[in-house]
Amino acid sequence: LLLLSFNLLLFLILLHSWSSSPKTDDHFQKGWVHFNHSFYYISSVKKNWNESRNDCLQRVSVAFLLITDFLCKSFTERLPDRIWIGLKYNESTEWKWVDETPLTQCSFLFVCFSYWLHGEPNGVEKDEHCVEIKRNNADKGWNDAPCTVTKTWICEKKVAL
């Protein structure tokens, strides 16, 4: 209850500071959802992976969603199906987050994680170098997909404490 009160107070303080400061985009705060230590913007329009990343950057987001072990399934289960996240296969033949962190990097507790659906990444279609969250039967997880396909996306903005 104390944590919930603290999160609500923090949200109200941030909301007040944002509403009293000048904005360059009237839609900046619309659509942002608070979860753990970040705010998330879930798009309602579809764009390809690069356009989605650029949209996140324009919204003052550090990057696309970077899945952490703290997010896990509790948050991703609530997301729409087939939504871009900030993970991409790069020229050096490895999966990297948009902040250049390799997917294989472990957390501070040496916990390595990924949420690939069974059999993924599989590269079935040509140029499946970007990652979406996809529902497969009762499971929801990562799927590699062509970056040129248009999908909704999610941006993350960390809360500065």
Q: Which residue has the tokens 């949200």?
A: 11
Q: Give the C-alpha distances (Å, rounded to integers) separating 132 from 4, 76, 150.
A: 31, 11, 11
pTM for the model: 0.71
Name the DSSP class of 117. P
- The one-letter code for the residue type at 152 is T
Whole-number Å distance between alpha carbons of 45 and 150: 9
3-state per-residue secondary structure call for 143-160: EEECCCCCEEEEEEEECC
Confidence band (pLDDT; 50, 70, 90) for 36?
Answer: confident
Which tokens belong to 30?
Answer: 């619309």
The region, left, alpha or beta by phi > 0 then psi within -120 to 50, assigned to residue 72 is left
How many CB atoms are closer than 10 A to CB 105? 9
Whole-angstrom distance, CA of residue 117 vs CA of residue 106 = 19
Helix, strand, coil share (%) of the chain residues, nearest 5: 20, 30, 50
Q: What are the tens digits of pLDDT across the range 50-86?
A: 999 888 888 765 556 555 544 556 677 777 889 998 8
Average confidence (pLDDT) over 32-61: 84
- CA dihedral of 51, 58, 18, 33, whole degrees rounded to 10: 20
| Mean pLDDT within 129-137 | 85
What is the average pLDDT value for the chain, to the nearest integer? 73
Q: Walk me through the domains of the chain, giving residue ranges and CATH numbers.
A: 2-158 (3.10.100.10)
